[in-house]
């Protein structure tokens, strides 16, 4: 066999790929078991903050989203919220992936095609969160359900 085809095959097999693995969604049972807080309510505020800007081609950008949710139902974690909690703030992220790559683009809905960036003020959501670094963080990768998202 000529050397050129062998080199092409070897190059194709060992070429480092830029593709990342998509994180499979957690089943509802696992979300419920792993969450320290499960709250359904109305999103009353959305704040977005660029944590890492995508300045050059090939770089990944990261935007952090903070939802302020006014609970209508607390299925888990009432003791962690306290009686005086009018609202709860949860944090999720959205990644801007480099061109020609695949992988997780951040927190996404468990029951719709929405990502964390798609949820707007006035939406009704159920969040599955855990406490990390003094904040409520959405479980990855699918730590929320969209009940209603009219302002899309």
Which tens digit of pLDDT belongs to each residue from 73-117? Answer: 999 998 888 776 789 999 999 888 777 777 668 899 999 999 999
Give the Cα-Cα-Cα angle 47, 48, 53 (nearest 5 degrees).
160
Confidence of residue 3 (pLDDT cuts 50, 70, 90): low
Distances (CA, A) of 77 to 83, 106, 111, 136: 11, 24, 22, 11
Task: State the pTM of this model.
Answer: 0.79
Contact by Cβ (8 Å): 77, 38: yes
Residue ranges of the domains in the chain?
Answer: 25-148
Fold of the domain spanning 25-148: OB fold (Dihydrolipoamide Acetyltransferase, E2P) (2.40.50)
Distance CA 132, CA 99 (A): 31
Distance CA 63, CA 82 (A): 29
pLDDT at 17: 41
Helix (H, G, I), strand (E, B) or coil at 4: helix
pLDDT at 47: 97
Quick one: what percent of the chain has pLDDT higher than 90?
60
Cis peptide before 141 (omega within 30 of 0): yes
């Amino acid at each position: 066999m000529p050397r050129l085809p062998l080199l092409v095959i070897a190059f194709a097999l060992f070429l480092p790929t830029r593709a990342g693995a998509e994180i499979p969604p957690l089943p509802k049972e696992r979300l419920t078991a792993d969450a320290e807080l499960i709250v359904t309510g109305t999103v009353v505020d959305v704040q977005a903050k660029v944590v890492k800007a995508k300045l050059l081609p090939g770089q990944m950008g990261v935007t952090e989203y903070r939802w302020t949710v006014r609970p209508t139902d607390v299925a888990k974690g009432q003791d962690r919220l306290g009686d005086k909690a009018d609202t709860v703030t949860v944090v999720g992220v959205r990644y801007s992936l480099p061109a020609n790559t695949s992988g997780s683009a951040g927190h996404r809905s468990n029951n719709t095609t929405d990502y964390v960036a798609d949820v707007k003020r006035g939406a009704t959501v159920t969040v599955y969160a855990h406490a990390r670094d003094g904040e409520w963080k959405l479980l990855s990768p699918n730590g929320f359900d969209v009940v209603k998202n009219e302002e899309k």
